[in-house]
C-alpha cells in the first residue's frame, strides 16, 4: 500500500528486526518510558509485522498481529503522526487478520489512542487499566470475512 510520503508493507521480523526495534524503542521506551524488558515479550517471531517506510527508506512506523488476533506494538515516530501512517498500518494488519480467517481482533489501546481506534470501528470493553504505567483500554473489532471467502 502506498500513500503520501510512505509505503506500508508486511515484513518478516527476522529480516526487519533492527528497523522495528528502532521505532518501538524510540516511541515506547525513550518517549513513553516503558521499560525495555516489557517492550520485548518474545512473541515477535510468531507475529505478522507491518512497517511504514518513507520514499527515502526510513522506517517511521510499525505494528504487529499475533496469531490469536491481538493487534499491538503500533508505533509511529512523532514527526509522522497525523499523516496517515497509523491508519495505513492498521488497514494492512486488519487485511492480514481477515486473510487468516479471524472473526475479531483485540488490542490494548493507550487511553490517548482510544479515539483513533474507535473511529476505525473498534469498541471499548471493560474498565481502564494500567499497563507499563500507562492507562489502557481493551478494544475489540468484529471482522467481516475477506472477499472471496
d(CA 86, CA 70): 16
* Cα-Cα-Cα-Cα dihedral sign, residues 146, 120, 106, 58: positive
Other Cβ atoms less than 10 A from the Cβ of 101: the count is: 10
pLDDT for residue 146: 60
Q: What is the mean pLDDT of residues 116-144?
A: 94
pLDDT > 50? residue 2: no
pLDDT > 80? residue 1: no
Q: What would the pLDDT profile of 70-119 be if each residue is shown by its tens digit?
A: 999 999 999 999 999 999 999 999 999 999 999 999 999 999 999 999 99
Q: What is the mean pLDDT of residues 21-50?
A: 94
Q: For residue 68, what is its C-alpha cell?
A: 490469536
The fold for domain 2-102 equals: Aminopeptidase (3.40.630)
Amino acid at each position: 500500500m502506498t500513500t503520501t510520503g510512505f509505503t506500508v508493507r508486511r515484513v518478516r521480523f527476522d529480516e526487519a528486526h533492527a528497523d522495528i526495534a528502532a521505532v518501538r524503542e524510540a516511541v515506547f521506551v525513550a518517549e513513553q518510558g516503558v521499560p525495555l524488558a516489557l517492550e520485548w515479550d518474545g512473541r515477535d517471531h510468531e507475529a505478522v509485522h507491518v512497517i511504514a517506510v518513507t520514499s527515502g527508506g526510513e522506517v517511521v512506523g510499525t505494528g504487529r498481529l499475533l496469531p490469536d488476533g491481538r493487534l499491538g506494538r503500533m508505533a509511529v515516530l512523532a514527526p509522522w503522526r497525523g499523516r496517515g501512517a497509523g491508519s495505513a498500518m492498521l488497514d494492512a494488519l486488519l487485511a492480514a487478520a481477515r486473510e487468516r480467517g479471524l472473526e475479531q481482533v483485540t488490542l490494548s489501546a493507550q487511553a490517548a489512542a482510544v479515539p483513533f481506534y474507535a473511529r476505525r470501528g473498534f469498541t471499548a470493553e471493560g474498565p481502564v487499566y494500567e499497563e507499563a504505567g500507562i492507562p489502557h483500554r481493551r478494544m475489540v473489532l468484529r471482522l467481516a470475512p475477506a472477499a472471496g471467502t
